[in-house]
A and B are shown apart, each in its own frame.
Chain A
Amino acid sequence: MKRYALYPGCNPKMAEPELLKSVHTIATHLNIELIELDKVSCCGGAHLQDKNPFQALLLNARNFTYAERLQLDMVSICNTCQYVLSEAHHRLTNDPEVKRQINLRLRSQKRRFQGTSRPRNFLYVLLEDIGRSEIRRHVVRPLTGLRVAPFYGCHLFSPREIQKSSTGNESPWSPTSLETIIGDLGATPVSYPKKTQCCGFHSSLYQPHTSASLVDTILSEAESFGADLMITPCPLCHANLEAFSGSHTMPVLYYQQLMGLAYDLSWKQLGLHHNMSVRRRSLENLLPPVSVHFS
């Protein structure tokens, strides 16, 4: 059994419970042990960094110490957490003076950042550590005929120099990991140019028109390429794609939920009742019947 420390992030704890549910469900199904870190803080979400960058770095150094004590890599399930944690890790491991200052502050809490836990993303844990054959082996309901548009978002890969070791050295301009998973589940991947565009989440509260326009362009393009549904790895993208969907009716799922559907896991286990863009009957109509034969 593979073991990882799970950095849950705030959004899955608050507004995107379906992500946390489907991550735990898929992990259990694939024999992965995720130890959820419950004493960590928010990563700062690229906002605390604007107000007090040192404080944000300090909190993230502290976050890593929990995974380090477990001697496990720290796995995130949110693109922005992934970016912020990777950047903090990179800074702390490449700047000895900053690391010294941070550790001086952490000393009062008997903590010390060492840099022994790598920041990783659940998507690449599945592809690199668990493997495609294992992902395929559990499929009992191949999603034949289903046309699925991947939406990667922006923070998963950028800046590439910092994130490449966490995210399979994928090109931010032509990633294929989600397409790989879609294909392994028996569905047809639908690639389209805006799959790595930003959804505008980080200004959605005070610039909703920008988010609405960006989401409209993403969903419109995916629809024009003939997609039946969309999947994403990021809770912030998912929240925005659902909140600003407007007249679009395309269901937006997490890739973990799509895996769960191909594994014929229950609706409740995958948290699909939380998805605002999903209507059960419409989604069931898109899915092929259950079969146990798949190669």
Chain B
Amino acid sequence: MANKVEKATLLIQRFDPYTDKTPHFTEYVLEYRRNDQLLDLFNRIKTDRDSTFSYRRSCRHGICGSCAVKVNGKPILACRTPVHELIDEFGPTLTVTPIDTEKIIHDLVIDMDEFWKKHDKISPFLTPQQHSGPQSSLQGSSIQGETLFFDSSSASLGDADYCIQCGACYYVCPVISVQPSFLGPAALTKAFRFINDPRDTQSDRLEVVFQPQEGVWECIKCLKCTEVCPKHIDPFSKISRLHSQVILSSQYTSGSRIRHTKGFQLDLLLNGMLNELPLALFALRIGFIKMAIRGIRMLFHGKVVLNPFKPRSKGYKQIRKLMRDSQ
């Protein structure tokens, strides 16, 4: 089976800034074997068919993060995605586009400047405590001069350090297209990695992460980042933990976003179920007035429950007890 040769049709988006006004698709019918990755087919096109075909690639082992492209809208690493898996998912014709169709430089190569600038914003490097230098630690028997890092600390970072900055999560995030200032899942995952590193001393990173229009509150919890991450890092879980950190932090106690999460829990304590009317009042306060027109329309269509004790689960007493025992 491994040597069986089959045919795949690749519709690849091409664009040469010197000759083309707009991108166009070129069809390539290629033979592939079961162990061929998509990158193998790209290489064959470049060597056998058209040497001008441009795409990024380097390590061929899912480490450098260069070869991310979209196939039928799904971001993948070309070097780590078998062609047969793509054909199983999408059929015999695969449409290959750059990972971002708005910032094309040439064919599948894009300008990732915006992505890197957002990484820069969270200062993606360790700032350890200043110590007296390696000389003193070598001379003395004490551990002064070393920055220790225990296994337990490593575990708290989870797999956040495995990010290869391929951009798959960033360019699939729907928020980026409507809120371009959002830092995106990759930069926030990197921020999580340093915020939770006990060796790091840079305290203003949290402030960047919680900035309105840029930080974690812009995340809409769609899980697309988790779905596409080729390293299975689950960026959404890191954003969720950053949410948790800000909610539990004494530094940040107000704001509609924090009240929303706290109100959610209070509503569950009261009824075991959620009623969005009191939750919206609790979270938005005076800002609730802005929702008045929508609220009246909803009321007119029987979509508002005015009683704050409804809907109420018949098991609400047990739910309340369980929640109190697990606060």
Q: Please report A residues at the B interface, Cβ cutoff 8 Å.
A: 10-11, 13-17, 38-42, 44-55, 58-59, 62, 83, 105-106, 108-109, 154-155, 157-160, 171-174, 193, 197-198, 200-203, 205-211, 213-214, 217, 243, 273-276
Contacts and interface: CB of A to CB of B under 8 A. Distances in A.
A14 B247 contact: no
Given A59-B322, A214-B174, A47 B264 contact: yes
Most chain A beta-carbon neighbours within 10 Å: one of B218, B257, B303: B303
Contacts of A154: 222-224
Most chain A beta-carbon neighbours within 10 Å: one of B90, B217, B262, B313: B313
Nearest to B267: A42
Given A45-B274, A59-B319, A158-B227, A207 B261 contact: no
Contact of B315 (A40, A105, A214, A217): A40
A48 B267 CA distance: 11
B223 A45 contact: no
Contacts of B217: 203, 206-207
Interface in B276-304: 276, 279-280, 283-284, 290, 294, 297-298, 301-304
8 nearest CB pairs, A to B: A39-B315, A198-B222, A213-B178, A13-B311, A10-B274, A158-B223, A50-B243, A154-B222
A206 B273 contact: no
B224 A50 contact: no
A210 B264 contact: no
Given A51-B247, A52-B327, A193-B73, A159 B264 contact: no
18 contacts: A14-B311, A41-B313, A51-B261, A51-B264, A51-B265, A55-B323, A62-B318, A62-B322, A109-B318, A173-B89, A174-B89, A198-B220, A200-B174, A207-B220, A209-B179, A211-B220, A217-B177, A276-B297
Given A48-B265, A50-B247, 6 more contacts: A40-B313, A59-B323, A171-B89, A209-B179, A210-B175, A214-B174
B260 A206 contact: yes
Contacts of B26: none
Tier of interface size on chain B: 35 or more
Given A10-B311, A41-B319, A42-B272, A52 B326 contact: yes
Contacts of A38: 313-315
B74 A173 contact: yes
B223 A217 contact: no
B64 to A, nearest CB: 24
Contacts of A109: 318, 321-322
Contacts of A42: 267-268, 272-274, 313
A206 B226 contact: no
A173 B73 contact: yes
Contacts of A39: 313-315, 318
B326 A205 contact: no
Given A46-B221, A55-B327, A205 B303 contact: no
Contact of B178 (A16, A52, A62, A217): A217
Contacts of B257: 206
Contact of A202 (B220, B274, B290, B315): B220
